[in-house]
A and B are shown apart, each in its own frame.
Chain A
Amino acid sequence: MPRSGLAWLLVGLLGFVLGGCAHSTLEPSSDASLTPRDRQLLAHPPYARADIPESFRRHVVDYSRKELPGTILVDTEARYLYYVLPQGKAIRYGVAVGEEALAFSGVARVGRMTEWPDWIPTPEIQARLGPYPARVAGGPANPLGARALYLFDGNKDTLYRIHGTNQPEYIGQAISSGCIRMTNEDVIDLFDRVKPGAIVVVLAPSRSAGMGPIAGPRS
């Protein structure tokens, strides 16, 4: 075998070995964490059930970064949100990224967490996409969906939110408005895990964590 051929064979073998080290397991959010109110509001949602690509559905994955368990990492560019678990694992959720999400990167804390939040459209949203009522009550038609996590820098609201959606078909995409949108089932699962005050790391759009789906789902 020519030397260059041998080199390529070694590179291929190395890639196979490394690729085999990274695992992701498809584990859709369980409906066991839904409250009676969730079940009632989600029984007949005013949106069509979306066929979300498998890579953007909830997975348990290997996690190689240094954030501590309980931390949230948002990889805006890859359209993933990670909830860090112990022992080098994380839960990876697919998200939709709106324009408001691009205005913030860095480290913040979860300052407030609410169920079925009301939505108060900003003047900018009213001008661009309105008119909306001054306050939209929480519910399945509300664009914030089933849960909202509001990020703060000290006592200052960053205006960055992680929330549910009434448009699940956009998961995995960049869209014109909103912050980080998750399916209502996924944001309920995340909400139940996160403590108030949890650290959130938001990567700048140009700094993807590079932890996308490497290996396929395992049974």
Chain B
Amino acid sequence: MVPWKIADGIADVRLNRADKMNALDPAMFRAIAEAGARLKDDRSLRAVVLSGEGSAFCAGLDVERVAAMAAGSSILPLGDTGAPAGQLPSEIQTSSHLPSGLDFCTIREANGVM
């Protein structure tokens, strides 16, 4: 869901859930956190460019999660990600603070809805 391509020291990272305007659900949070964890240790990188596939960069939190919460379930159920209990909140934090945790230039190539 967050594929990337590293060429000539630049990582081209894509949010790739275009059918949902790259909205964030538990799996997207996890994928973004994993991408950050992998890329921050790559000493060959000079820059990371983050963009969204399709018509929008990112529509924010997936509204389906809000609807699920209204129906009585957790807004971000841990079971959806396969992550151990208690790990998801830190992944959300990691996702949110990804650019500041990296040692190289990060660029958000934002398009459409944000």
- Cβ of A112 within 8 Å of any chain B Cβ, yes or no, is yes
Do A155 and B6 contact each other (CB < 8 Å), given the known contacts A196-B14, A197-B14, A197-B53?
no
Is A155 touching B3 in the complex (CB atoms < 8 A)?
no
- Interface residues contributed by chain A, number (CB under 8 Å): 17
- Min Cβ gap B106→A in Å is 16
Report Cα–Cα, A98/B111, bound state, in Å: 41
Is B7 touching A191 in the complex (CB atoms < 8 A)?
yes
- Interface residues contributed by chain B, number (CB under 8 Å): 16
Report Cα–Cα, A193/B107, bound state, in Å: 22
- Cβ of B62 within 8 Å of any chain A Cβ, yes or no, is no
Is A197 touching B7 in the complex (CB atoms < 8 A)?
no
Smallest CB-CB separation from B18: which chain A residue? Answer: A197
Do A152 and B3 contact each other (CB < 8 Å), given the known contacts A109-B16, A196-B14?
yes
Is B3 touching A109 in the complex (CB atoms < 8 A)?
yes
Is A155 touching B27 in the complex (CB atoms < 8 A)?
yes
Do A155 and B31 contact each other (CB < 8 Å), given the known contacts A113-B4, A196-B4, A197-B53?
yes
Q: Which residues of A contact B3 (CB under 8 A)?
A: 109-113, 152, 196-197
Is B1 touching A113 in the complex (CB atoms < 8 A)?
no
Report Cα–Cα, A108/B3, bound state, in Å: 12
Q: Which residues of B contact A192 (CB under 8 A)?
A: 7
Q: Which of A106-152 contact B (CB under 8 A)?
A: 109-115, 152
- Cβ of A65 within 8 Å of any chain B Cβ, yes or no, is no
- Cβ of A207 within 8 Å of any chain B Cβ, yes or no, is no
Report Cα–Cα, A192/B14, bound state, in Å: 16
Q: Which of B35-76 contact A (CB under 8 A)?
A: 53
Report Cα–Cα, A111/B112, bound state, in Å: 23
A-B contact pairs, 7 of them (CB 8 A): A109-B16, A110-B3, A115-B8, A192-B7, A195-B14, A196-B4, A196-B5
- Give 10 A-B pairs besides A112-B3, A113-B4 with Cβ atoms closer than 8 angstroms: A112-B4, A113-B7, A114-B6, A154-B27, A155-B34, A196-B5, A197-B3, A197-B14, A197-B16, A197-B53
**Which residues does A use to contact B, with CB under 8 Å?**
35, 109-115, 152, 154-155, 191-192, 194-197
